[in-house]
């Protein structure tokens, strides 16, 4: 019997609402581990098909690609839930589970309609996760996040409608017929979720404002679900190669400039997803395998890095490099686990980033994208510079601020430990991951050339960091990004539209009140206008009509009595 992992998470979300204390913690752990077990047990080729009107929909379709993403989504849901056990808000727990379930729904969908429904559910649940930050900044960022994703979902929906209206296949497969309106609109809708510049600013705007635990879930699902859709539908598009390179470099530059540790890591999500997008664009089996493998690894090490940042915020109450420093001796275990994530994302040998990112760079060189290979390698330098060196140095070392730390809960450390073990395990034994890719790849990361080249690159970056140390310290500034184009003008435009609507409403109210007053007067005496016009009646002298006399046009009361008597008599005859 097959069980859809998303349904397990939905049931768990419902049970969270009626449980408390330790019982809720048990429900959360059992539910998320159950979803992971269900994902692992799904056999390849399993599918659920049902009919809705004229459409044959597939709620579940399992192949190598969906199985791989289903495993990592279920695993990170369990790790993130363990990290968030101390959260007392039922709404946040339920929202994160529904969010993860929506992502799993997209991954296992076998038709476009099902994929779109899950896609929108994921967007709505993630807004609630952002709002769970419970601050004014979180509420504002959540509304901006909602605005962007409603726009993206609308484009996706319009493109899907065009695709189906023109005879396109309902199956969730690459779009036939080549680029067109449907192709372009769906691609833009997916590009928004993938955070491809200039459609990316919602990510570093919203993710850092969510709760410490909610950010871990946000980092895992939206962008990687978009990568899954790109692999499934848009593989081999040259446009995505350049879009991915732009992401990798753009995210690195802004991460180097950033002072807020969670915004720094948010910008680096953009950079790392850029490698995946470029791999999809290259489109060779090695590149597509690299994109899927890197998504798998990125979810683990990015969650570990954000959990480390969350542990620092829990202990210090601070999140900016200019406010941190000198806490490494007080948080040795957090420092160690964060370092595992930093080495992973930087591509250090024996860590999982080394065995996935290099697949994409190698595929670029093998397929004749030499310039792309160079730029992606350059972006790797920036990764180690800010995430592997700048952030840990100015957070855990550097000048001491005399901070007094509170204890980090054990469940947060345990979740970091699980993620760290996965990062090291995949780095040491990459064959497990390679065997589960949708295409068979003949790739061996631990060659002398690759290991030596990586160590030289990392060593040179470390020397550059120490040389430029005084220039890389965090500064209390904010870097303008493309979100300026809707953060600033849109509120002004909305305020103007609200003012216009209010003025129109006031005018309409006054006009309607005046109309009602006039109509009521005429209804009371329709002939009153004749008097005001000075017409009617007799006895005019010198050509001037006398004023209207209301009594002149009234019927005598006898006439009314006559008609009443006649009506009563007629009724009596009819009844008799």
Segment 401-410, tens digit of pLDDT: 888 899 999 9
pLDDT of 273 reads 96
Q: Which one of 272-286, 458-472, 546-560 scores highest in mean pLDDT?
A: 272-286
Please state, in angstroms and rounded to a whole number, the distance separating the CA atoms of residues 27 and 12.
7
Residue 389 gets which letter from DSSP? I
Structure tokens at 203: 């990510």
Among the ranges given (31-35, 37-41, 522-526), the one the predictor scored with the smallest mean pLDDT:
522-526
Q: Which residue has the higher pLDDT, 404 or 306?
A: 306
Q: Which residue has the higher pLDDT, 277 or 470?
A: 277
Mean pLDDT of 241-255: 93
Mean of pLDDT over the chain: 89
Check: CB of residue 289 under 8 Å from CB of residue 434.
yes
What b-and-e string marks burial along 509-526, b requiring 16 or more CB atoms within 10 Å of the CB?
Answer: eeeeeeeeeeeeeeeeee
Please state, in angstroms and rounded to a whole number, the distance separating the CA atoms of residues 266 and 260.
10
Query: How many CA atoms, within 13 angstroms, populate the side-chain half-sphere of residue 130?
Result: 28
pLDDT of 256 reads 84
Distances (CA, A) of 479 to 264, 318, 368, 406, 456: 11, 19, 36, 31, 31
Q: Is residue 439's pLDDT more than 70?
A: yes
Q: Which residue has the higher pLDDT, 466 or 525?
A: 466
Mean pLDDT of 353-359: 94
In DSSP terms, 57 is beta-bridged to 50
pLDDT of 420 reads 97
Q: Is residue 242's pLDDT more than 60?
A: yes
Mean pLDDT of 391-414: 89
pLDDT of 1 reads 65
Residue 547 gets which letter from DSSP? P
Q: Which residue has the higher pLDDT, 167 or 427?
A: 427
pLDDT of 265 reads 93
Q: Is residue 537's pLDDT more than 50?
A: no
């Amino acid at each position: 019997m097959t069980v859809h992992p998303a349904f397990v998470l939905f049931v768990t979300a419902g049970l969270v609402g009626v449980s408390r204390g330790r019982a809720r913690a048990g429900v959360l752990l059992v539910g998320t581990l159950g979803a992971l077990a269900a994902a692992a047990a799904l056999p390849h080729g399993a599918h659920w098909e049902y009919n809705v009107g004229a459409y044959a929909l597939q709620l579940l379709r399992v192949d190598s690609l969906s199985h791989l993403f289903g495993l990592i989504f279920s695993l990170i849901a369990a790790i993130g839930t363990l990290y968030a056990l101390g959260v007392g808000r039922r709404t946040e727990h339920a929202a994160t589970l529904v969010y993860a379930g929506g992502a799993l729904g997209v991954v296992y969908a076998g038709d476009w309609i099902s994929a779109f429904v899950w896609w929108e559910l994921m967007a709505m649940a993630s807004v609630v996760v952002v709002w769970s930050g419970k601050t004014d900044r979180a509420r504002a960022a959540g509304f901006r996040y909602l605005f962007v994703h409603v726009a993206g979902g609308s484009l996706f929906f319009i493109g899907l409608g065009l695709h189906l209206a023109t005879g396109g296949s309902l199956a969730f497969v690459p779009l036939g017929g080549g680029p067109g309106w449907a192709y372009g609109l769906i691609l833009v809708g997916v590009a928004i979720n993938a955070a491809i510049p200039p459609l990316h600013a919602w990510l570093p705007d919203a993710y850092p404002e969510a709760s410490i635990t909610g950010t871990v879930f946000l980092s895992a699902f939206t962008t990687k679900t978009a990568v899954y859709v790109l692999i499934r539908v848009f593989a081999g598009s040259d446009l995505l190669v350049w879009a991915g390179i732009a992401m990798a470099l753009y995210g690195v530059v802004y991460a180097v400039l950033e002072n807020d540790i969670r915004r720094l890591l948010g910008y680096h999500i953009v950079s790392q997803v850029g490698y995946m997008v470029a791999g999809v664009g290259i489109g060779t089996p090695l590149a597509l395998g690299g994109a899927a493998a890197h998504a798998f690894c990125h979810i683990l090490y990015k969650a570990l890095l954000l959990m480390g940042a969350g542990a620092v915020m829990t202990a210090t109450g601070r999140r900016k490099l200019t406010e941190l420093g000198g806490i490494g001796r007080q948080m040795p275990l957090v420092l160690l686990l964060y370092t595992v994530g930093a080495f992973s994302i930087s591509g250090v040998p024996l860590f999982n980033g080394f065995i996935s990112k290099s697949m994409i760079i190698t595929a670029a060189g093998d397929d004749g994208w030499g310039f792309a290979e160079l730029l992606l390698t350059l972006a790797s330098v920036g990764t180690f510079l800010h995430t592997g060196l700048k952030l840990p140095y100015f957070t855990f070392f550097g000048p001491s601020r005399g901070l007094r730390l509170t204890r980090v809960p054990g469940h947060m450390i345990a979740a970091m430990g699980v993620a760290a073990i996965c990062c090291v395990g995949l780095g040491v034994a990459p064959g497990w991951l390679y065997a589960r890719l949708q295409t068979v790849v003949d790739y061996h990361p631990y060659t002398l050339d690759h290991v030596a080249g990586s160590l030289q690159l990392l060593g040179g970056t470390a020397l550059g960091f120490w040389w430029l140390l005084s220039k890389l310290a965090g500064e209390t500034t904010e870097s303008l990004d493309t979100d300026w184009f809707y953060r600033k003008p849109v509120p002004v435009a909305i305020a103007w539209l609200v003012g216009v609507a209010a003025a129109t409403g006031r005018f309409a109210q006054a006009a309607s009140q005046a109309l009602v007053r006039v109509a009521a007067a005429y209804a009371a005496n329709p002939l009153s206008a004749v008097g005001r016009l000075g017409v009617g009646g007799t006895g005019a002298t010198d050509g001037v009509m006398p004023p209207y006399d209301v009594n002149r046009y009234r019927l005598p009361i006898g006439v009314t009595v006559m008609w009443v008597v006649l009506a009563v008599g007629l009724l009596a005859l009819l009844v008799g």
